[in-house]
Amino acid sequence: MEKLSPESWLVKAARPEEPGAPLNTPIIPSSNFLKGAGIQYSREDSTPTWNALETIVGELEGGECVAYSSGMAAAAAVFAQLAVGSKIAIADDCYHGVTKLAAEGQAQGRWRVQRVAVADTEGWKAALLDSDLVWLESPSNPLLVLADLQAIGSAPRKPGCLLALDNTVATPLNQQPLKFGADISMHSGTKYIGGHSDLLMGLLVAKDPGLASRFRHARLLHGATPGALEAYLATRGLRTLAIRLERAQTNALKLATYLEQHPAIENVRYPGVDSHPQHALARSQMNGFSGLISFEVKAGGEAADHLCNSTRLISHATSLGSVESTIERRSAQKGQEHLAPGLIRLSVGIENADELQADLEQALGR
């Protein structure tokens, strides 16, 4: 068979091929296996259910994939590769769990942390020369700032420095960091990959097979293994990722355009609109703009809370990347108090776009 497009690969890949086999990879809820074959114990050897998930994502990203029990477990596995006294450079706008992980490690004397603005290409180039781990997120969450992946990934770096990119917002369909020179692409599979708000999952994709082996060893020692059901659900989510993402992106562009014109809203951030200051960069390094929007309610935090509490179709809930649209005021979340009081994060789902816009319109008018 000729090499398939990513959209077809998602549907066809990693299915059993033996005559009479089930069309879907089975859920294997067993911790141990009879001796005599390659697999004995799930935590040590993986299972066919995990393998299907890892095969699909690894092929999309162009590396070897290792699945974890959550996105934070995957991130922690990267940080666990560092020796005491290492230096880390992380994005100034990135997932707050990673920010907290880095800060707590620094407070314990395990490493030193430098914050770099996501769009500061020269700052990242400098960090690559004197850091042991550079942790990027592009587009960032929640401010949707982009890093120039080509410029950063091709820059000289200190020997042994790992360049990692949280690719959760973009998804492996829209962006493949390893192709730009990153060593690691990380996903919270809880978000777009799973896509239905029903699982916790983390994924690391490594360019170097030796690094992937180290991640598997870290998973074994830390016990951060995904459950069989969660691995199956993530694989099932991948089968529909292309059409879910296409719909979410179409909806997001419509809503971002609407919000830009609303008198009660300012600072709409969505890489897919021409007004985004990095729209050209997004077009050059992404295949699509994903479904995440952030914007500010001019009247501040109280008005932003009122908006979130007034939507009917859009759910007032945290997280992103699912089939249902969710909305929340980010500075009301623990660890996000530094953000503008009126900042809203809107994860756009696959509902009818006109009805989503009407829901925002009625909520803003109440």
Catalytic residues: 43, 95, 166, 191
- Spatial separation of the C-alpha atoms in residues 47 and 27, rounded to whole Å: 9
In three-state form (DSSP H/G/I as H, E/B as E, the rest C), the secondary structure along 346-358 is EECCCCCHHHHHH
Q: Please identify which residue in the block is written with the tokens 């290492």.
A: 86
Report strand pairing: 292-297 vs 343-347: antiparallel
Within 8 A by CB and 6+ apart from 239, the residues are 10, 11
Pick from 141, 136, 175, 94: nearest CA to 347: 141
What would the two tokens of residue 336 be? 């996000």
* Helical packing angle, 209-222 and 71-79, nearest 10°: 110
Structure tokens, 65: 């994939």
What the block records as the tokens of 366 is 């109440």
Q: Which helix (H) or strand (E) holds 186?
A: strand 184-188
State residue 115 phi and psi, 5-degree precision. Answer: -100, 135
User: How far apart, in whole angstroms, are the C-alpha atoms of residue 187 and residue 63?
Assistant: 13
DSSP H or E segment with residue 136:
strand 133-137
Tokens of 156: 């000289």
